[in-house]
Amino acid sequence: MTKRYVLVHDENKCIGCQACNVACRSENNVPESVTRIQVRVEGPYGNFPNLHFKYNRVSCEQCEDAPCVKVCPTGAAYVNDDGIVSINEKKCVGCLYCVAACPYKVRFINPETRVPDKCDFCKESRLARGEDPACVSVCPTQALAFGDANDSTSEVSQLLDTKNHYQHKVNLGTKPRVYRIPSRKGGIKV
Amino acid sequence: MNNIWGSMEQYDPVVWNWIIAVYLFMAGLSAGSMMVAIGLKWYRQSRGLPTEGLPVIKAAAIVGPISICVGMALLMLDLTKPFEFYHILLNYNFTSVMAWGVLALLFYIPLVFVFSGLIFEKQLLSLAPWLSGVAKICRKLENSLNKLIFVLAIGVGIYTGFLLSALISYPILNTAVLPALFLASALSVGSAGNVLVATLFFSKKESDCIEQVHRIEYPVAFNEALCLVLLFVGLNFSGPAAQAATAAITTGTWASVFWIGVVGLGLVVPVLASTISPKSWRHTKGFLITVSCSTILGVLALRHFVVYAGQSYIS
Ligand code: SF4
Ligand code: SF4
């Protein structure tokens, strides 16, 4: 695996507008009742007048040690050479083991295919054409950065080298590949 | 009010529901009843006592296959793609506990039927005389088959626990005590199921052979209680999220299910019944039926408690 795709979400720049959520829905034909990304607006935190909100991106973290892949009995949840956690619809029986096992609760059953669905960094469409994922392209404040963390000249490497950042639930050992730059105001509350 | 980010429905932490709880119960019942019956057989053989026609063993030959088949049917119906379940029989990912479970069941289920076939050989052969050749071969292999079934039954009982304990983000589930707890409760529900069916259908005398099954009740109940204590004491030492999960036994509906169902019906009633009840009651049909039903309900409550309360607390 030569590439190591990661996503960086800058919670200072994010305004919680859901443009990413909508772009993802149209790019990936996500049915109306379900969703692959949400940016939850949490808070307010702090004391008046220093109030602020936290923008919490919820989407597949593309774990390097993905519990969803480990538990899948048929190998329908798998990782390719590209390192992106994917789903083979043909092999899946719909046992929901992966849905239960995902610590980030981002897998859901697609009501049309009856198979688990989730973010795959738009790997078959935009990534295959060399473009950024839809959410990254559409973000009006450039709060999202996507790229190869193994390439030290990439934007994501530079961000991760120079900015304070954190990941969700690292204690579970899943090694998530979504990195977050915490809001300057207030501490980290995960 | 709607969230601007959309519906939260798909984020419900409870993914597996009562169907899985009942499946886990059925699998435990089947595995437990096999272990108890085969164990009893060995115990009597080692003492030179006859094992033919024992009501409890006959009961196991009914309980074992029926409960595992009902369980499997439920499990299949719960798949989002029930008609494609065969993929699970063709592809094995050996990092998955479920794959190991499927493999164990693949051998366990037919062997349980062989076990029953041998117990009811006469009846079977009168219905299907063409099976006599197969029956002869199986009879020759009976001892080895029983050993194999016993091992597979332990496997089935334990795997149902590991199935849940592999879910790393749920503190109540993600513990090594769970498989032990499930195995112990499988033994208790297995013996209760056998006693119930034996009392209802096979025993001629009121005290027919229930004595030996009683003998395993105390150690099993003790182990079960110990596992429960370990589970919740352990949570207390495993960080804030796990500690928060101990609320499962102090607040909410699942706390009542725990204290009334799991502890009350599953542990207290059976133990009290066999310690303080008058001797004259102990082998009456009504008594045996009540106590075994209580144990069965207790284990059913345990599976529901673990499945629901387990998934409700996420770290
Ligand atoms: S976030 Fe969930 S779905 Fe995504 S790779 Fe990790 S465990 Fe799998
Ligand atoms: S639901 Fe499908 S992808 Fe998920 S664990 Fe089951 S078989 Fe694998």
What average pLDDT does range B158-165 have in this prediction?
A: 97
- For residue range A75-130, list pLDDT tens digits in order: 999 998 889 999 999 999 999 999 999 999 999 999 999 999 999 999 999 999 99
The complex's ipTM?
Answer: 0.92
Q: How confident is the model at residue B215 (pLDDT cuts 50, 70, 90)?
A: confident
What pLDDT score was predicted for residue B210? 73
Are B5 and A40 in contact (CB < 8 Å)? yes
Q: What is the pLDDT of residue A41?
A: 94
Q: Indicate which residue's Cα is closest to atom 7 of ligand 1.
A: A102
Q: Residue A126: CB within 6 Å of ligand 1?
A: no
Mean pLDDT to the nearest integer, A43-53: 84
Residue B193, SS3?
helix
Question: Could you give the CA distance from residue B105 to residue A78 in angstroms, rounded to a whole number?
Answer: 24
Q: What is the pLDDT of residues B282-293, one digit of tens each?
A: 778 888 899 999
Task: Using an 8 Å CB-CB cutoff, list chain A residues near B4.
Answer: 16, 18, 41
Residue in B with minimal Cα distance to A118: B10
- Say how many C-beta atoms besides its own lie within 10 A of residue A167's C-beta: 16
Residue A49 preceded by cis peptide, ω within 30: yes
Percent of chain A clearing pLDDT 70 (strictly above): 97
Nearest chain B CA: its distance from A142 CA (Å): 18
Interval A154-162 mean pLDDT? 96
In a mutational test of the B interface, the residue from A59, A95, A118 whose CB has the highest number of chain B CBs within 10 Å is A95
What is the number of CB-based contacts under 8 A between chain A and chain B?
Answer: 119
Q: Determine the Cα–Cα distance for residues A32 and A25; give it in Å rounded to an integer.
A: 8
Return residues 161-190 of A near B (CB < 8 Å): 169, 171-174
Q: Which two tokens stand for residue A62?
A: 């593309």
Taking the CA of residue A118 as reference, the ligand 1 atom at the shortest distance is 3
Question: What's the pLDDT band for B92 if we cut at 50, 70, 90?
Answer: very high
The predicted structure's pLDDT at residue B206 = 62
* pLDDT bucket at A190, cuts 50 / 70 / 90: very low
**Chain B residue with minimum CA distance to A95:** B79
Q: In this predicted model, what pLDDT tens digit does every residue of B40-61 receive, in sequence order?
A: 999 999 999 888 888 999 999 9
Residues near B29 by beta carbon (within 8 Å), at least 6 away in sequence: B63, B67, B186, B189, B190, B193, B296, B299
Question: What is the structure's pLDDT at B70?
Answer: 98
- If you measure from the C-alpha of residue A88 to the centroid of ligand 2, how many angstroms do you get, rounded to a whole number? 9
